Amino acid sequence: MTYELPNPLGSKRPDGTFAGYFADREEYRVNLTHVDETLDFQEMRSRRTPVSRPSTTGQNNPVYPGISVITTIAIGRDAYLMLVRQQRPSGDNVLKLVSGYIPKMHLQNPLNVAKEELSEEVLPVTPDGKVVRIFLGGEITGMPFADTIKSHDYRLQGSPTSQYMPEGLLSPVTVEGKQLADDPRMFFWLPENNAQLVYGYHFSGDELKNMDVSLHHSEDEFNPNTRMLDAVPHSHGIYLVGLDNNRLTSEIYTMQKGKLVGISPDELLLSEAFAPIENGFVDRRSIPLHEYRKMHNRWI
């Protein structure tokens, strides 16, 4: 019998305050400087509108930062990129990195947001319904949904040595002149007026396989009745995409009770993080997997 996660796993208010940041760039180095403004979530989202390249840097127009987490995992001799599937307002389903928004209080240390997103979105579940929590730097990233799901004693340890990293990212990134922990990289996402910080971590998945773990995903969905964000689980919602020399392959799996189950790559869309990054800029919302592989001379 397959264990079913509670739905929703939990709920929270869509609150928090946000701010824009001026991006001062010199070659590949970027410094973000706080703009004296306080926005709620809806106001921040309204500022994430398409912009041109010149308006993303200097004192012309603030950008509204987000965060993405590249998560690779080794199983046996092979390495995989962990992606989550998301249905966007356009109706497209994309495979994307774990990601989130950065509230004003966290931009001096966005690593806190990366840890929170990992702990909420990546849910390795054992057959008896316990969740394996994630450790980074010897500390747990978080224990969300503790009221509805139990935690396993085993900890999935990560290190900041991702085995995949897109080409063309900017680095180093500072905020108010201060270096950020775990040295994230960055790209400007023009359709969303977004300076996306990118972290990378690597895990060993052999023990998860031995424990018959299933990789589930949860995402926040707005509940118009309660006006809360419900954490909705997706069974086997983590996709493992094979890696070969820092490139994605067409070998795609889910992990179900410790077994890798193949997924057809036909018609799959990747998020903007996999589109061409030109001098630190990305001007697309998605890219088909077959186009990505053709771009890197790796035919399906």
Read off the pLDDT of residues 139-168 as tens digits, 9 standing for 90 and up: 999 999 999 999 999 999 999 989 999 999
Q: Which carries the bigger pLDDT value, residue 156 or residue 265?
A: 156
The predicted-structure confidence for 205-217, as pLDDT tens digits, reads as follows 999 999 999 999 9
Of 103, 131, 105, 108, nearest to 118 by C-alpha is 131
The predicted-structure confidence for 177-222, as pLDDT tens digits, reads as follows 999 999 999 999 999 999 999 999 999 999 999 999 999 999 999 8
Local confidence band at 15 (pLDDT 50, 70, 90 cut-offs): confident
Tell me: pLDDT of 1 over 70: no
Local confidence band at 137 (pLDDT 50, 70, 90 cut-offs): confident
pLDDT for res 184: 96
Tell me: pLDDT of 88 over 80: no
pLDDT for res 299: 42
Cα separation values, 243 from 64, 73, 186, 246, 267, Å: 31, 10, 22, 6, 19
Burial of 1 (0-12, 13-18, 19+ CB in 10 A): exposed
Q: What's the average model confidence in pLDDT over 226-247?
A: 93
Instruction: Show me where the domains of the chain are located.
Output: 11-295
Q: What's the average model confidence in pLDDT over 18-32?
A: 93
The predicted-structure confidence for 100-129, as pLDDT tens digits, reads as follows 999 998 988 999 999 999 999 999 999 999
pLDDT for res 2: 61
Check: CB of residue 210 under 8 Å from CB of residue 152. no
Tell me: pLDDT of 224 over 70: yes
pTM: 0.93
Local confidence band at 297 (pLDDT 50, 70, 90 cut-offs): low
Check: CB of residue 15 under 8 Å from CB of residue 41. yes
Q: What's the average model confidence in pLDDT over 47-51?
A: 91
Check: CB of residue 224 under 8 Å from CB of residue 230. no
Tell me: pLDDT of 242 over 90: yes
Q: What's the average model confidence in pLDDT over 220-229?
A: 91
